[in-house]
Structure 1
């Protein structure tokens, strides 16, 4: 879901200062001024929110995730915090925000493909039985966990770099792509797939609805990510880890780019 204003300003992402200035003008500089509640509605309708963007950083041109050697591609800076403040202060203060759950939107930009196989193309069932995918792991209260030390990001999760090959049994919840996956690669497609996935706080597609099942089958998205719950429940200080995964012999997840942008209201 997006507003006409957002579409007309593609590529423009306001800073915290930009949003504070607009709020000030709407509330105090008009002839009569708008009440704070109406200003909130105007800001949200325009999706005029500050955001932070997080990139997969690689020295090489791509990262290859092998069977059962899942890797964290990136971890977002804790919601409503700046990396600089987390690095420089033992008691960092959050950036301005509105409410206990200020997150409004999360966008994922992925460039990837699996190992590819000749003879396969844009099949209707390309997301069925595809064993390379992306999902997220929530890190609660990441702002308290010394995420950055001496300018270096620290590992907070087990086996983030896939150093040790894991064994996933039949009952392991990570054996196969789950309903909360961000995106599945089209199977047996060696050509680069560029995908944009948007999670919005106003999304309301129930995971068991026919629409959700259709989106999962035709777009490769997780159907439980379509109701906006993951955005609405994000708390100040939380971080999101983006995992790339691959299963079964011969399957590989080739990742060329991964970017996550997190928007919040103030």
Structure 2
């Protein structure tokens, strides 16, 4: 009992110290930059590292306790990726085909920076006019993965690397459908909507089946260095990639129906006015659709995927992973009008 009391007191004191530091930093920023946009304080990587060092030195806490405190306080750095489409210029349209999904039915929107890799901006040089976060992915199936240690040189500071650092993803989407269609009883709800958004996943791998195919069936030589951070070397975990014999090439496999574990949000049915949806995926989410079907149904009533409330996607993200976002539409007449999309990815350091 005495041990538990001491732990509780230590954690309480540490959280107070963390709160005091964050408050001081917020006030300092407000005083020094009166023109800065108002909003909640968002720490940088340096802020988090300094705070952790303060806690370790001032309170003589072991690193694992400090990590727990920082997670409990949600004191994480994050990356932001945003794309705006003036006048609803980006549209995914449904088609009357039931074989391979057409390109206009599945439109790539944007990708996040590699998770936890602070030095990725160096790869932006010499990549052409299209920004990295908007460059369309190439269908390349995943293969042997890199280890956590392979990413060490890509991190901005000598900190311990977490294999699964992601803590939260916030999707902010402004969009609407064509404004008509569907069953009359579904109008104004998320029921019967055939325009939606799905998350995807890209990952750097040491090798890929596509490399083996291009090498005449011989496995390629394994690199003795870490990930290249070049877009051409990325593999796609989702959407799934399959070999198309007619084209003699790998292609993306987009299903007819939405995948419930990747479905971020659908549009309100037959609503022409732009709506803003802010969807939060957290590593602490614990809605199991099989164990708690009522809670999963409530997610669906909000336009989300039933299987997106269990936190699995966030917890399973590995160091260096890239999250993508896709606009979807199915069946003739259905159109997904996109005004803007934003993705904020929070992670532990």
SS at match of 1:18: helix
Distance 2:173 2:254 in 1: 23
Structure 1 segment 127-138 matched on structure 2, within 5 A:
127-138=190-201
Which is worse superposed, 239-248 or 33-42? 33-42
Q: What is aligned with 1:64? A: 91
From 221, 227, 247, the counterpart of 2:330: 247
Preserved contact between residue 114 and residue 187 of structure 1 (Cα < 8 Å): yes
Question: Which whole-Å deviations, capped at 9, do the CAs of 1:197-253 have from their partners, x for residues lacking one?
Answer: 111001111022223332233201111111111001101111111000111111100
1:125 offset after TM fit, Å?
7.3
Preserved contact between residue 182 and residue 193 of structure 2 (Cα < 8 Å): no
Please say if 1:15 is aligned against 2:78.
no
Task: State the TM-score, normalized to the length of structure 1.
Answer: 0.79
SS at match of 1:259: strand
Please say if 1:147 is aligned against 2:239.
no
Distance 1:122 1:15 in 2: 47
Figure out how many residues of one structure are paired with residues of the other and give that number: 240
Unaligned runs of 5+ in 1: 149-153, 161-171
Task: State the TM-score, normalized to the length of structure 2.
Answer: 0.61
Give the structure with higher Rg (CA): 2
Unaligned runs of 5+ in 2: 1-18, 27-38, 95-101, 127-150, 206-226, 240-252
1:62 offset after TM fit, Å?
3.8
Please say if 1:261 is aligned against 2:298.
no
Q: What is aligned with 1:175? A: 256
Distance 2:286 2:46 in 1: 31
1:57 offset after TM fit, Å?
4.8
Which protein, 1 or 2, shows the higher relative CO under an 8 Å CA cutoff with sep ≥ 6?
Answer: 1
Please say if 1:46 is aligned against 2:80.
no
Which is worse superposed, 233-242 or 80-89? 80-89
Preserved contact between residue 117 and residue 155 of structure 2 (Cα < 8 Å): yes
Distance 1:236 1:121 in 2: 46
Q: What is aligned with 2:61? A: 34
